[in-house]
Amino acid sequence: MVFPKQLARVVPFVVLASGLVCAQEPAGAPADLNKPEAQAFIAKAKKAAGTQWAGVEHFLCEEPRGASANDPLVEPTKLFDNLYLLGKDGGEIYAITTSAGIILLGSGGATETETVLLAGMKKLGLDPTQIKIVIVAHGHADHFAGAKYLQDHFGAHVYIAQQDWDLIERPAPAAAEGKKKAAGPPLPKHDMLLEEGKPVVLGDEKIIPVFIPGHTAGSMGMFFEVRDNGKKHMAGIFGGAVLLVRAMSGDRDQYVKSIAHYREMAKKLKVDVQLKDHPLMDGEADKLVKIRARKKGEPNPFLVGQASYGRYLDVMNDCFEAQIAARK
């Protein structure tokens, strides 16, 4: 979306006051993906993608988009012994079961807590009263707005990076041009801090956060162990996954630095399971069908291996570079 010039400085703040979601990022310069520099990065991304990550390449390089209210629901699905997927196509929620309760990665939007999240958990045989921790990877309403309900009803602790607590708690600026500000999403009460390298521990599980500013100033990636029929693997989620270049921070290069930092950590931790928190851009719907029909001895489609995970990050990086080049 392109704002008229005279509103460009005003509109993003009005939107912030009403609780930004990923889809509402303010537009930057118009993109021209036909520029030779952009095309060179797209070609690089296609090469890295091969057939396995072709969907990711197409989504991130050619047709990136944020979450939409019309995104379809995800069929609640068990992915690993200790990991479940819930939520919507545009904003996925993961439930990690531990010996001391449940950790949620993301809370989903405010209006869907009972109808989508809790209903989905019940379908999977998970007890919502066991939700002890909610980790919010970045401070957009489609990721945090359900958190207050979970605090109020189940006493869950909410973890957000300081920069994104600031983002969601920032007092609304005076209504611009006499417009009344819209009501914001429910804010969780100020709670725990998510910090780079400081594991969030519950029972026998721990989540390792990695600081990846860009999508927001406090975006965090997550690494954690999953088990597939008892066998240990390491999963990674890049918590600002839709790398729309319409940068909130204004520092586009920060995204690229964040991908490099995330990649370094992923390599160190031997990440071999690919997960994400945003639209189903890479044929994940097919993976969900496969995993629900999976028979004993068949591979887990989310288990991609370390080398392939590296190529997935290459595609992310190259597409993002393409998007930057398209706006220069």
Single residue of 16, 22, 237, 316 touching Zn ion by CB under 5 A: 22
3-state SS assignment for residue 44: helix
Comparing CB distances to Zn ion, the nearer of 22 and 247 is 22
Least distance from Zn ion to the Cβ atom of residue 214, Å: 10
Comparing CB distances to Zn ion, the nearer of 22 and 315 is 22
Backbone φ, ψ for residue 237 (5° rounding): -130, 125
> Who contacts 59 (Cβ-Cβ below 8 Å, separation ≥6)?
279, 281, 282
Q: Which residues in the 130-169 window bind Zn ion by CB under 5 A?
A: 140
Site string for Zn ion, 88-127 (x = CB under 5 A): ----------------------------------------
List of long-range contacts for 301-305, beta carbons under 8 Å, 24+ apart: 302/79, 302/80, 302/235, 302/273, 302/274, 302/275, 303/228, 303/233, 303/272, 303/273, 304/52, 304/272, 304/273, 304/274, 305/272
The residue number with the shortest CB distance to Zn ion is 22
Least distance from Zn ion to the Cβ atom of residue 21, Å: 7
276 near Zn ion, judged by CB under 5 A: no
**What distance in Å separates the CA atoms of residue 280 and residue 195, rounded to the nearest whole number?**
27
Comparing CB distances to Zn ion, the nearer of 140 and 263 is 140
Least distance from Zn ion to the Cβ atom of residue 144, Å: 10
Comparing CB distances to Zn ion, the nearer of 19 and 128 is 19
Least distance from Zn ion to the Cβ atom of residue 67, Å: 7
Q: Which residue shows structure tokens 């066991």?
A: 130
Provide the residue count of the chain. 328
Binding footprint of Zn ion on the chain (CB under 5 A): 22, 140
